[in-house]
Amino acid sequence: MKQLYLSTQSKKRQWLHAKLSVIILTVSLLSCQEPMENIDTGMLEPVLLVEGKITTDTTKHYVLLSQSGALNDTNTYWVSDAEVTISGNNQTIELFEESPGHYYTAPDIYGVIGRTYELTIALQNGESYTAQTSISNIPEIDSVKIAWENWSGYGDYLHFVYYHGWELQEEGNAYLWNLFLNDTLYNDTLFKTTFVEDDFVNGNYIGYGAKRYYDSLNNQINTQGSNFAIYALGPEEINSTEVDVLVEMESIPLAYYEFWTSFMSQTVWVGSPFDPAKADLLNNISNGALGYFYGASVKRYRFKYIPPDWSLDYRNSN
């Protein structure tokens, strides 16, 4: 897949990073689909903003089209009446505009692992845009558990959500996890979403760390193996006696992971003397548009979690 970058003209780069530094990109996940909005173009022409994906789920896949606005403009300028198609797996899929700027496939569409898909956008003004993505393989989820643990020995207890399973043998994989608590999406912004690449765990088994935690009956449990918490929730973030937990894992393109990390490193992860130099964001939309179209394979794991009784004094024991 060809990787496209934004223009390196200094003026365009300056306004882009000035604007991106004051927004957080809201992740478009399932029912929580919101635009990359309010990009200030200064004296430049408005920029098309694209968000979209196709997954292995049989569902309505989406593409969101909007247009950049001024720095202090809180309006979203949806782009309507575009012709949007996704081609791949020997078919061309037409997307229909259900509301301004929101384009969806039919509900019986699904992506296939190993296939490449091309997004084509034709606007009413004659401009056209394309993007390509592939759908990668995804490992099985052995289990996911929540442990009520002391955080780094500082006396604060958190609900750690631990992932358990094999990582794929091939290199260059990347993943993100969506967490639903009682059918409500926890990571409703990019800032709250866990996404990783497999540099240090390639082909290995990911398990639970050799540390103590307590189950829902307040029994002490000792575990062995590698430790990987995909989320850590504060006491106030789980306030019911029983929680229906759904973990949704996506295998995403490594380039999409790099797009996220480059965005975060220049917007949210800033403020220290070690901040990276400003650079052009990785972007797979052609013709100067901003955004990303990606493919993902999906696995899910559901379980019940009964939080421990906070009134017990086990948290103060060694």
% of residues, the chain, pLDDT over 70 = 68
The pTM of this model reads 0.77
Kindly report, residue by residue over 191-237, the tens digit of the pLDDT.
889 989 887 677 778 875 534 444 444 454 444 445 789 999 988 88
pLDDT confidence of residue 277:
55
CA-CA-CA-CA torsion sign (99, 105, 111, 116): negative
Span of 16-20, 94-98, 173-177, 197-201 with lowest mean pLDDT: 16-20
Give dist(CA 141, CA 75) in Å, integer.
Answer: 41
271 CB-contact burial (10 Å; exposed 0-12 / middle 13-18 / buried 19+): exposed
Query: What is the pLDDT at residue 8?
Result: 30
The two most distant CA atoms of the chain are separated, in Å, by: 68
69 CB burial (10 A radius; 0-12, 13-18, 19+): buried
How far apart CA 282 and CA 245 sit, in angstroms, is 33
The pLDDT of residue 31 is above 50? no
pLDDT (0 to 100) of residue 75: 75
> What would the pLDDT profile of 102-147 be if each residue is shown by its tens digit?
999 999 999 999 999 999 999 999 999 999 999 999 999 999 999 8
Q: Is 182 left (phi over 0), alpha (psi -120 to 50) or beta?
A: left
Rounded CA separation 7/18 (Å): 15
Token pair recorded at residue 116: 């490449």
Determine the pLDDT at residue 15: 33
Residue 26: what pLDDT?
A: 36
Which neighbouring-strand residues pair with 96? 104
- The pLDDT assigned to 260 comes to 81
Q: Scan for tokens 């000035």, then name that residue.
A: 18
- What whole-number distance in Å separates Cα of residue 48 and Cα of residue 64? 10
DSSP per-residue string spanning 70-111: -TT----EE--S-EEEEEETTEEEEEEEEETTEEE--TTB--
316 Cβ neighbours under 8 A, 6+ residues apart: none
The Cα angle at residue 53 between residues 50 and 54, in degrees rounded to 5: 150
Separation of CA 110 from chain center: 19
The pLDDT of residue 311 is 54
Q: Where are the alpha helices (H) located in 72-209, listed in sequence order?
A: none
Judge whether 298 and 17 are in contact, CB under 8 Å: no
Distance (Å, whole) CA 96 – CA 108: 14
Question: How long, in residues, is the chain?
Answer: 318
Q: Residue 13 pLDDT more than 50?
A: no
Tokens linked to 73: 């403009």
Q: How many helices (H) and strands (E) does the chain have?
A: 2, 21
Burial class of residue 118 in the structure, from the number of CB atoms within 10 Å of its CB (0-12 exposed, 13-18 middle, 19+ buried): middle
Residue 17, pLDDT > 90, answer no
Q: Around 95, how many Cα atoms within 13 Å sit in the side-chain half-sphere?
A: 30
* Res. 100: pLDDT tops 80: yes
Domain ranges of the chain: 4-137+252-300, 143-250
CA distance 163 to 168: 14
